[in-house]
Amino acid sequence: MQAARGASLSSSDPGTKSARVSSRLIFAVAALVGLTIDQVSKAWALANLGDQSRPVIGDWFTLYLTFNPGAAFSTGTRFTVVFTALAIIAVGVILFLSRRLGSRLWALGLGLLLAGVAGNLTDRIFRDPAPFRGHVIDFLRVPNFPVFNVADIFINVAAAVIILQSIRGVSLDGTRHDEDRSAPEAGE
């Protein structure tokens, strides 16, 4: 049984190849759909929200348009170019890691992470006041929490998926850490 499981994880196995193809497709769709939702929601916020808060669920959830030059919680507002550079590096790392995908859940997590990082990066590159110094559009507000956007939601969901997969011991390629240790024993 263990030998069969170890053999099915080899890269020459057709099932593994189809798992990689479907994982890469999930990654690409999650990233593209997520980025589209983020950018459409920001365009809507710019077109429809002014200086006033719009209640959605009383005072608990409101829409309020802000422009954030910094990172989370508006920290580091003088370092917009640094955050832009870090986001570019993050996109590159995510794309590099996506080549190893063999797990659908990892694919979803990395796809959402790419959507979130790229969504906020798009703002930093193309929005006012200047290229690579643009302010991120935030418009979702709950009490006692900074205003955020859809990209931020995707980043947090991705973090939860990545933590879950790590706790479960599942690698990017879909193998489990306990299977990695038992695979050589199965061949003996």
Show which residues are catalytic: 138, 152
Other beta carbons less than 10 A from residue 89's beta carbon: 11
Report d(CA 138, CA 46) in Å as an integer: 10
Cα gap 136→87, rounded to integer Å: 12
Contact 114, 91 (CB under 8 A): yes
Euclidean distance between CA atoms 136 and 119, whole angstroms: 9
Give the separation between CA 102 and CA 21, rounded to whole angstroms: 8
Evaluate the omega torsion of the peptide bond into residue 184 and state whether it is cis, within 30 degrees of 0: no
104-126 vs 14-48: helix crossing angle, rounded to 10: 30
Report strand pairing: 61-68 vs 54-57: antiparallel
Helices (H), 127-176: 150-168
Q: How many CB atoms lie within 10 A of CB 115?
A: 28
